[in-house]
Structure 1
Amino acid sequence: MIPDGFDYHEPETTAEAIELLEEHGDAETELLAGGHSLLPAMKSGLSSPDVLIDIGGIEELTGVTADGGTLTIGAMTSYSDVLDAEAAREHAPALTAAVEQVGDRQVRNRGTVGGNVAHADPASDLPGAVLVSDATMVVQGPDGERDVPAEEFYLGMYATDIGPDELLTRVEVPSAAGAVGTYVKRASPSSGYAMVGVAALLSVEDGAAETVRVGASGVMDRGVRLEGVEDALAGGSVDEETIEAAAARAGEGLDTALMMDDLRASGEFRAQLLEVYTERALAEANADLAAPAAD
């Protein structure tokens, strides 16, 4: 299907992009990042913007840097560039583990971290991982920049705290060096999106869990932290028995009546998958902690 006509703009700077958002505030306007969600929606008629602002050429929105205990990922940084950055693997292991499972190589070469985060598809791989990573989303508009913690960023399905005249410029992650991060998912056989995806960040000190952060995608209308699992493991030993007991609390605090229910899986089935994949994510993290360091 051919999309409806639209005005196309290609700003070279963030400031120029914000000016365009302000200028076309009365029109149906969309930002184009990697295009993997927006372009299919336009072709199918689900989205029909009057104005398309292509931010793919804004160089200041790309790159991965680590400074002062914070890892910064530019919003237009491709998944592949994140995976190529050793700093990302060291400081944001859970987020990097999720990025590794996004789509296929072609998608990872073109798709962007910021596009994924801003699109807020609850079945994508990053919502749970950015929560686990305690990320902060930095958005910029006419009044300047503001920081939005991951816990406050996602408002619901395809809804975020980004205002109509703002754009996401970068994702900042406090360093989790020394912890291990994992991400496991039950992928939809048709799309590869997560029917359930679980991210875990784990560190152990003197035989006891020091850092325990677990989050999920694909279960509710947004990414969620699994606080019952975290509480079950915090400060205690981490072994097969305690992991199994903790995973049994994966659905604690979640309203099962509001779990995603679609052609791919019922809410009830997702609740069962959540427990299974939580156990797998934690077991994998524990195994990585126990593995000898590579030379």
Structure 2
Amino acid sequence: MTARITPFLNHISACNQAQIPGNRLPFFWRDEHIGWVSPPTANALKALGAHSGDQLGITEPTALHPLAKTLAEHGLYKPHHEDFDIRNANGDVIGQVDRGAIPVLGLAAEGIHLNGLVEKSDGSYLWVARRSMNKKLDPGKLDHLVAGGMSTGLTPATTLIKEAEEEAGIPATLAEQATAVSRIHYAMERPEGLRRDVLHCYDLILPETFIPTANDGEVESFHLLPLTEVFERVRTTQDFKFNVNLVLIDLFSRRGFFAPEENHLINKALHAA
């Protein structure tokens, strides 16, 4: 392994440091395993009657949302007031929960990340956003031009169009030109709980005349940076939000920033899940 890629592998490892199951207990929907819960959450679920014998969970889809709401009322998380669909292993929607409950219950969640690229005569550039200091998660960190979770009723494509308009003022006619390029999984222990995320990654070539505008108050500023500079910042700093590093590393890999032997190791680590 070349020392040059060690920082990139460290970013990937940092997003996959969760030990599963560790001390967690499985959480079920009927007989399907859908999540992992910590001992304190397990105790709360038992007190609320969300179990059958030793098996923690629910049997009816309509029970998931009120159960999550009750966990918030008991102080296990702060509601985000945004519902996400929860799916079983077949991809069928089995219920909804507040976004804040997902890591508490160790449920899988999906989201989108967009590489907003500009091709100039002197090379490739990437639009980078700085997160608002009012964000609950990683305030002030650098982020993608567009990124967001997949709310109830949406698909990756419709989430992309929605978030592109809200976060950067990208019209739907332009956002629809984005290309789906990869999917990245990771499992990470965070202060808010266990994150088991699936990131749907997109590339979009933007015209040089495009200037992003934040419409939802979640971005402090936008910056158009040479892709080579972004590469160096990912390599040498912790400036970017944790999971943004994964999507950028995937972009660097596809853009030929790594030697073939390095690329093999990067992709093996990045897509191991």
TM-score by length of 2: 0.31
Q: Which structure dedicates a bigger proportion of its chain to strand?
A: 2
TM-score by length of 1: 0.29
Q: Indicate the structure whose relative CO is greater, using CA pairs within 8 Å and at least 6 residues apart.
A: 2
